[in-house]
Structure 1
Amino acid sequence: MAADIVRLLELTSWRAFDVAATGRVLAGSDESGSTQLVELADGESTPLTALPGAVTGRYLPGERAVVVQHDTDGNERGQLSLLRLDEPRARPARLPDLQPLVRDPAHVNRLLDVLPGRIVYATNRRNGVDFDVVIRHVETGAEEIAYDQGGMVLEATASPDGRHLALTVPADRAMSDQLLLVDTATREVLALTGRDEPARHGQIGWLPDGLAVTTDADRDRAGIARIDPRTGARHWLVTSDEHDLTGWLSPDGSTLLAQANDDGASRLALHDAATGDLLRTIRLPADGWCSYPLPAPTWSPDSRLVALSFSAPAVPGDALLVIAATGECESLTGSAAQLDGLVEPSSHRVPARDGEQVPCFVFAPREADPRLAGSAVLIVHGGPESQAVRTFSPIAQALVAQGHTVLVPNVRGSTGYGKRWYSADDGRNRLESVADLGDLHDWLPSIGLDAGRAALWGGSYGGYMVLAGLAFQPERWAAGVDIVGISSLVTFLENTAAYRRAHREREYGSLAADAEFLHSASPLTKVASISAPLFVLHGANDPRVPLSEARQIATAVRANGLECELRVYDDEGHGLAKRTNRLDAYPRALAFLARHLAKQA
């Protein structure tokens, strides 16, 4: 058992961050134990960084240089540095080798876009809460504030001439945002959508006559539209009534890379950006997923190439390169060659109490340990505005190798199945998603599983779901593994980073208006009902879900005389980013589940 999870956690994966016109790809590799930058070219991989924690980056257009984003021990206070690639270097760059661009360790600084000689970034240095958008000249260090109207800037894209920014900020509703156009010279802001419009906007690109935007405005399923930058008028380019679509526009404005979300699998195609007409489809290496939660596809500056991050249940993670003119897709790395015998999931729709159907992937063991045969582990994704997709999961594969059957559901509140589904848990409907766990539990016997030996596993909001399942459905669950989870919606909102509070209140409800409901929907409130053993993991530097959430639930569960192991990692934030910590934590968690889900002699 321990050997399976260690072997899976030690697999190397790659992701693509950027691509140059020469075909060089800026990628991330976790071979060292955390994601570091490498450059892929001519069949070779050249390590670029060796920093203490995970990093991301982008090429600086027109130069042999990389903008590196890094933080300290997962605290998410991003810092920006420059790495010159035209200077000889005997080893990968460490922090002293990088040229500081934005070093302000007390605040969050997040790279949004890159331009020749300039970067666009968001920072909350003004008051610790609101994010301003700043354009910085790399050579001189001169900065211009382009936007300072408040809120958490979600995305920003500069026009080709740098005179305008298109950006999104949260709107008044959960899972909605407002699309703004900013004149960088005058700082005049034009709202292209309303603050009360129930719609998302993203993946903004600049067309010759407008903006190309992924949006679900006036639709249940997201599509790709052209938006007039003067009036906000919308014209649909590519839509589907069956799938959510996402689009990435080429820099020259001629071609759209469109991704259809087919039950967590990516279907890619290239479209004419002027008409929306299909040009050609792209064949991926397997039935898997591109982009989020991995980096989004990136076009080369000359619009010839697209770099993709790709993963599948049996593919840990690879960097792919697409030639736009032909649709040919080449894998630049070979993560799938490291290990065979991985399990592919089957897709199901689980009937819910109210006639809805909960999408769910099921990983079934090939050879079950007789002691664990028939046991079930439900892995609940975070977010909640996220989706379990067809990617590699060392946890799911290790659990299956143990002999458990693993269910990975997309309970209501999940994205990928339309606006109606992702909105079904908003505000005071929070416990409807928890009730979906009960429906999944009731379904277990129909696929030959023992409902008396079922456990929950989840991280972040998935951790809240684990604790809520144990607290509100104590008769159903035999054990739980909570990773950086919320134990009280009240104390979470009180103690999360100030810049996140308003953003999260749109989803969960506000402390001012909804405190009583938030209290009633909190696992900590019902902790006396928990009867199952609990395993808790948390990072000491977590700015999203503070460590106090883990400590208070562990204390309360132990006070009831139940087993509760709490493991805290001092050099981690919201999750375990470092392999050494995952190798310590996850074998223990799997052993915990095996002990509590084994058949009794």
Structure 2
Amino acid sequence: MALDIVRLLELTSWRAFDVADTGQVLAGSDESGSTQLVELADGRRTPLTALPGAVTGRYLPGERAVIVQHDTDGDERGQLSLLRLDKPLLRPAQLRDLEPLVRDPDQVHRLLDVLPGRIVYSTNRRNGIDFDVVIRSAVTGEEQVVYDRGGMVMEAAAAPDSHYLALTVPADRPMSDRLIVVNTLPMTEADHVLPLTRRDEPARHFQIDWLPDDSGLIVSTDADRDRTGIARIDPRTGARRWLVTSDEHDLTGWLSPDGSTLLVQANEDGASRLTLHDAATGHLMRVVRLPADGWCAFPLPTPVWSPDSRFVALSFSAPTVPGDVLLVDAATGEYESLTDSAAQLDGQRPVEPTAHRVPTRDDEQLPCAVYCPEAADPELAGSAVLIIHGGPESQAVRSFNPIVQALVAQGHTVLVPNVRGSTGYGKRWYSADDGRKRLESVADLGDLHDWLPTIGLDRKRAALWGGSYGGYMVLAGLAFQPERWAAGVDIVGISSLVTFLENTAAYRRAHREREYGSLAADAGFLREASPLTRVAAIAAPLFVLHGANDPRVPLSEAEQIAAAVRAKGLECELLVYGDEGHGLAKRTNRLDAYPRALAFLARHLRS
């Protein structure tokens, strides 16, 4: 049976959220149509939740209970509930079966960490913009606000004795943040909060872990480097000692709870290479063998250690693997696959990409994966579809993408670039589109278009596809390079940087102005760089998808570009889904939208 879009969208993928000492894994499965919690243990799969939308979760340490994070129809206003597992479930839990922990549907709450009997979460309930950090008892409901100094808290990790909390908040520079340690038993206002990094330091700090005795923090960072590495940081002085670094690849590290071992991921052009290192010295101990050339976490959640440091649970995907849960034995580096998503392909093998470096107008080398059809509709042979990832602080990695595979099965050659602004290639590359350099990433699309004939493709039959910031890139390509593109598919994209910042959620505006520029200081440039400003130049047909509850890119962004394109007499189809947010999380909606988008492209790219 040939792969088609319906079959591809119906494939079940798995991801790992948490793992217990016993080897039980709290997993996510989208078999029901949206990601729900399932427990994997001893070869059994026990469905835990059946909520209307996608959920995530963590085990509550020391108890047979799960903290469930959920929202309503993709509105991203996360709510936190408790699901007890000490008695057998007669059926997967619905919302009425969960014990409310943090419920305020008008505000955003995000689970940051779990402790015995307690949770650590962030909330913007104080003013709707800034995120405070709260420690809450899962038993009594007593809460303690431990950080309220403003900003969008990105990560937080509690020290083993719970007296300290390490967290990151946005710094002044784009794609940078401050590392802060909070004394959770405040003595005086002066020593309650200790910043370890400067507001103006152009550096990322992420994946924070405490050493068991609170003597140090293990952090992935690119402070004073182009590539991220793993460092030990003194939580009292901020002094940094590098443990594992590379001049060629971005590295991320996860410390085992006992403080002995580091799991290190090297990002090799969007493929994961995993190794285990001595956490005291950084010395290599063993290599983790993965099932294929793929990516661990697609995109979330990240690898997680069991409390006893014996196992690491991974979310793994590859171009030929929809998504599986792997359990790695830290003592040997060997893995056990707890799921087998590729079995659903019934022997059919999706196409794997080839890696390329595309020369640009300014002598850069633009990373690009190319997926070529093996056999297809001859009328589509030679056509090209460029898929641009969102973010822009993100990366197209070697994971399974049903849209890519469906387009290739139709007969298109699919290019998946990492234009400037993408992560995974060092600080210089992800900073190359900041602020008033925004249109440099759009110009990369022109370089890709110029390169098409070198791999036998027809430049007159090339289209753009992208979501979120990738949707902005689609619209910008059509508006700024109208002679190059034959069609575009925009999914939850930004049509005007000005109206986007004016209308996005207040907490997101404060965060995103660092990357795009501020309404106060940069309104002229933001207007100039907006596709809506140049809509008169658009000459290609457009297909637009959007969720009505999108808190990031408001629906008005889709409505205004669709109206402007239609006013020109061009074809523009707009599909809006009332139970979706920033993207299509529900399979029923994807099955409605994506076949129509593929049919749209096939119609406009036939020879």
Q: Answer yes or no: is 1:537 the counterpart of 2:541.
A: no
| Contact kept? 1:109, 1:124, Cα under 8 Å | yes
Q: Answer yes or no: is 1:15 the counterpart of 2:15.
A: yes
Show CA shifts across 1:408-427 (max 9, x none).
Answer: 00000000000000000000
What's the secondary structure of 1:445's corresponding residue?
helix
Residues 90-129 of structure 1 mapped to structure 2, 5 A cutoff = 90-129=90-129
| Contact kept? 2:17, 2:301, Cα under 8 Å | yes
d(CA) in 2 for partners of 1:549 and 1:230?
46
In the other structure, the counterpart of 1:436 is 444
In the other structure, the counterpart of 1:65 is 65
In the other structure, the counterpart of 1:36 is 36
| Contact kept? 2:3, 2:406, Cα under 8 Å | no
Q: Answer yes or no: is 1:516 the counterpart of 2:524.
A: yes
d(CA) in 2 for partners of 1:160 and 1:323?
23
| Contact kept? 1:538, 1:547, Cα under 8 Å | yes
d(CA) in 2 for partners of 1:414 and 1:284?
25
Q: CA deviation at 1:90?
A: 1.1
Show CA shifts across 1:500-535 (max 9, x none).
Answer: 101100000000000000000000000000000000
Q: Answer yes or no: is 1:312 the counterpart of 2:328.
A: no
In the other structure, the counterpart of 1:466 is 474
What's the secondary structure of 2:332's corresponding residue?
coil
d(CA) in 1 for partners of 2:398 and 2:298?
11
| Contact kept? 2:57, 2:66, Cα under 8 Å | yes
What's the secondary structure of 1:23's corresponding residue?
coil
d(CA) in 2 for partners of 1:325 and 1:249?
14
Letter in 1 for 2:193: V
In the other structure, the counterpart of 1:286 is 292
| Contact kept? 2:298, 2:316, Cα under 8 Å | no
Show CA shifts across 1:467-502 (max 9, x none).
Answer: 000000000000000000000000000000000101
Aligned-pair identity in percent equals: 83
d(CA) in 2 for partners of 1:12 and 1:354?
43
| Contact kept? 1:36, 1:51, Cα under 8 Å | yes
| Contact kept? 2:298, 2:399, Cα under 8 Å | no
| Contact kept? 1:18, 1:27, Cα under 8 Å | yes
| Contact kept? 2:466, 2:474, Cα under 8 Å | yes
**Residue 510 of structure 2: which of 480, 502, 508 is its match?**
502
Q: CA deviation at 1:3?
A: 7.0
d(CA) in 2 for partners of 1:282 and 1:256?
12
In the other structure, the counterpart of 2:250 is 244
**Residue 592 of structure 1: which of 571, 596, 600 is its match?**
600
Show CA shifts across 1:319-369 (max 9, x none).
Answer: 000111111111100001111220000000000000001000000000021
**Residue 266 of structure 2: which of 245, 254, 260 is its match?**
260
Letter in 1 for 2:439: L
Residues 359-378 of structure 1 mapped to structure 2, 5 A cutoff = 359-378=367-386
In the other structure, the counterpart of 1:155 is 155
Q: CA deviation at 1:294?
A: 2.2
Q: Answer yes or no: is 1:220 the counterpart of 2:251.
A: no
| Contact kept? 1:244, 1:416, Cα under 8 Å | yes
In the other structure, the counterpart of 1:388 is 396
Letter in 2 for 1:418: G
d(CA) in 2 for partners of 1:52 and 1:119?
24
Q: Answer yes or no: is 1:446 the counterpart of 2:454.
A: yes
| Contact kept? 1:113, 1:157, Cα under 8 Å | yes
In the other structure, the counterpart of 1:198 is 202
d(CA) in 1 for partners of 2:352 and 2:297?
20
**Residue 349 of structure 2: which of 331, 341, 353 is its match?**
341
Letter in 2 for 1:201: H
| Contact kept? 1:16, 1:27, Cα under 8 Å | yes
Letter in 2 for 1:499: Y
| Contact kept? 1:2, 1:587, Cα under 8 Å | no
| Contact kept? 2:548, 2:581, Cα under 8 Å | yes
In the other structure, the counterpart of 2:236 is 230
TM-score relative to the length of structure 2: 0.98
**Unpaired stretches in structure 1, ≥5 consecutive residues:** none
Show CA shifts across 1:195-250 (max 9, x none).
Answer: 00000001001124310000000000000000011110100000000000000111
Letter in 1 for 2:241: H
d(CA) in 2 for partners of 1:308 and 1:295?
8
Show CA shifts across 1:133-174 (max 9, x none).
Answer: 000000000000010000000000000011100000000000
d(CA) in 2 for partners of 1:292 and 1:583?
21
Letter in 1 for 2:201: E
Q: CA deviation at 1:89?
A: 2.0
Letter in 2 for 1:203: Q
Q: CA deviation at 1:105?
A: 0.5
d(CA) in 2 for partners of 1:313 and 1:426?
30
In the other structure, the counterpart of 2:164 is 164
**Residue 480 of structure 1: which of 480, 488, 498 is its match?**
488
In the other structure, the counterpart of 1:184 is 184
Show CA shifts across 1:525-556 (max 9, x none).
Answer: 00000000000000000000000000000000
Q: Answer yes or no: is 1:554 the counterpart of 2:562.
A: yes
RMSD, aligned α-carbons? 0.9
Q: CA deviation at 1:88?
A: 2.6
Letter in 1 for 2:494: I
In the other structure, the counterpart of 1:302 is 308
d(CA) in 1 for partners of 2:150 and 2:73?
28
d(CA) in 2 for partners of 1:67 and 1:387?
29
- The alpha-carbon distance between structure 1 residues 522 and 345, as it changes in their structure 2 partners (threshold 3 A), is same
Q: Answer yes or no: is 1:580 the counterpart of 2:588.
A: yes
Q: CA deviation at 1:87?
A: 1.8
Letter in 2 for 1:476: R
Show CA shifts across 1:426-467 (max 9, x none).
Answer: 000000000000000000000000000000000000000000
Show CA shifts across 1:351-390 (max 9, x none).
Answer: 0000001000000000021110000000000000000000
In the other structure, the counterpart of 1:82 is 82
Letter in 2 for 1:258: V
Letter in 1 for 2:80: L
d(CA) in 2 for partners of 1:492 and 1:459?
15
**Alignment coverage as a number of residue pairs:** 599
Q: CA deviation at 1:292?
A: 5.0
Letter in 2 for 1:453: R
Show CA shifts across 1:8-30 (max 9, x none).
Answer: 00000000000000000000000
d(CA) in 1 for partners of 2:576 and 2:34?
18
d(CA) in 2 for partners of 1:142 and 1:566?
47
What's the secondary structure of 2:342's corresponding residue?
helix
In the other structure, the counterpart of 1:26 is 26
What's the secondary structure of 1:593's corresponding residue?
helix
Letter in 1 for 2:67: V
| Contact kept? 1:388, 1:409, Cα under 8 Å | yes
